[in-house]
Amino acid sequence: MSRLKTLPIILLVIFFSSSTLFAATYTECYQSACAFITVPDNVVANEDFEVTVEGYLEGGSSFGTNSYLFLENSEWSYDHNNMVRTSATPLDVNGVNWGSSFLKTYTLNRPAGYYSFTFVFGYRNFAKDWYDVAVEASITTTSTATPVAFDIKPQSCPNPLNIKKKGILSAAIVGSDDLDVTQIDHGTIKVAGLSPIHFAYEDVTEPYYPLNGKASGMDCTEAGPDGFLDLTLKFRSQDFYAALEEVNGEPLRRGDGVVAVMSAGLITASGDSSPRLLVGEDVVRIITKK
């Protein structure tokens, strides 16, 4: 929808409850106006979640004015003056808002399905010209959060993560009678907010129980193939460490045991309004050997 250049996505360093795991911020800028929207990666249907919007005018002051729109599932476009045009009824709107910045968090609750949110922000000052910048993000609300087996370094227990050494870290979403891993949507997989760099199907391990609630570095298994296909994942070790540190909110030290949370969605058939969210976890032990 937008014809503006999108800046890199910034993963926030926030860990939420089971209904909202991670959040991501999206950014768009045009001339001196910038708009931000932060949405959760995963939301359980019919539970509260938050969408935060922010806009600022570079070089603006408290004596200036701005305007904003907050839209849901709405078609919109820019006109020749770079003003957003839409026929939709906004969730929130202010045509003349005082100041050079705006920040607001909306608490929402939606049934299972797919939703897009758009934040429009801009100048409404004749001396500065009239223009908007729009940023859009989407979420999928799921009917349930299903625990599944997730294994870092299959066939290893415990799971060391060497923060001094570059390399590749392996993991697996473990298949079972209840989970056909070929039905997982690769694009939805995140571990500590990090997407894998490689996927493959092979039988490498078996589930460790309990699936969730792990606390000890020994909550793991060295077991090998069990006859069910697994979805194996690859991460760059240093990226994985950085992601865990971001979620943890402070530097990780040698000997720390850190729970890494995996989330993923299933491939949904056309018209399916009840997508499932899969959630798993495993523990890594931080080491610093060169």
Q: Is residue 1 part of a domain?
A: no
Residues 279 and 170 in one domain: yes
Q: Measure the CA–CA gap between 269 and 169, rounded to whole angstroms.
A: 32
Residue 14 lies in a domain: yes
Same domain, 113 and 215: no
Range of the domain at 16: 10-142
CATH of the domain at 205: 2.60.40
Instruction: Specify if 5 maps to a domain.
Output: no
pLDDT of residue 125: 67
Assigned token pair, 179:
């989970």
Helix (H) or strand (E) holding 195: none
Q: 236 and 153, same structural domain?
A: yes
In a domain, 3, yes or no: no
- 57 with 180, same domain? no
Report the pLDDT averaged over residues 137-153. Answer: 87
Task: Select from 142, 176, 193 the last residue of a domain.
Answer: 142
Q: State whether 48 and 152 are in the same domain.
A: no
128 in a structural domain: yes
| C-alpha to C-alpha distance for 124 and 95, rounded to whole angstroms | 8
pLDDT over threshold 50, residue 215: yes
- Do residues 155 and 279 both lie within one domain? yes
Residue 58 burial (CB count, 10 A) = 10
Q: How much is the pLDDT for 39?
A: 93
Q: Report how far residue 158's alpha carbon sits from residue 286's, in angstroms, rounded to the nearest whole number.
A: 11
List strands edge to edge, sheet with 230-236.
Answer: 150-152, 168-173, 230-236, 198-202
Q: Could you give the number of structural domains in the chain?
A: 2
Nearest in space to 154 (alpha carbons), one of 97, 202, 106: 202
Token pair for 39: 């949405």
Residue among 273, 277, 275, 274 nearest 264 (CA): 277
Tokens of 181: 């891993």
Q: Does residue 123 or residue 91 have the better pLDDT?
A: 91
Based on the fold, state whether residues 100 and 38 are members of the same structural domain.
Answer: yes
Look up the pTM and report it.
Answer: 0.57
Same-domain check for residues 48 and 58: yes
Q: Print burial letters for 274-283: b (CB count within 10 Å at least 16), e (below 16).
A: ebbbbbbbbb
99 and 126 inside one domain: yes
What pLDDT score was predicted for residue 71? 97
CA-nearest of 58, 14, 1 to 193 is 14
Write down which residue in 120, 142, 164 finishes a domain. Answer: 142
Cα 234 to Cα 281: distance, rounded to the nearest angstrom: 16
Whether pLDDT at 14 is above 60: no
Residue with tokens 């797919």: 114
Q: Of the candidates 83, 118, 142, which is a domain's last residue? A: 142
Q: What is the pLDDT of residues 39-75, one digit of tens each?
A: 987 787 778 899 999 999 998 888 888 999 999 999 9
Contact 119, 70 (CB under 8 A): yes
The answer to whether position 178 is within a domain reads: yes
Q: pLDDT for 71-114, tens place per residue? A: 999 999 999 889 999 999 999 999 888 999 999 999 999 887 88
Kindly tell me if the per-residue pLDDT of 123 is higher than 80: yes
Q: How far apart are the first and last CA of the chain?
A: 48
CATH number, domain of 135, equals 2.60.40.10
Could you tell me if 86 and 175 lie in one domain? Answer: no
Q: Give pLDDT, residue 143.
A: 66
Instruction: Report yes or no on 54 lying in a domain.
Output: yes
Contact (CB, 8 A) for 135 and 28: yes
Residue 82 lies inside a defined structural domain of this protein: yes
Q: Does residue 15 register a pLDDT over 80?
A: no
The CA distances from residue 215 to 45, 107, 175, 218, 284, in Å, are 28, 31, 22, 8, 10
> In terms of domains, do 245 and 175 share one?
yes
Looking at the fold, whether 201 and 227 belong to one and the same domain comes out as yes
More confident call, 198 vs 271: 198
The pLDDT value given to residue 126: 60
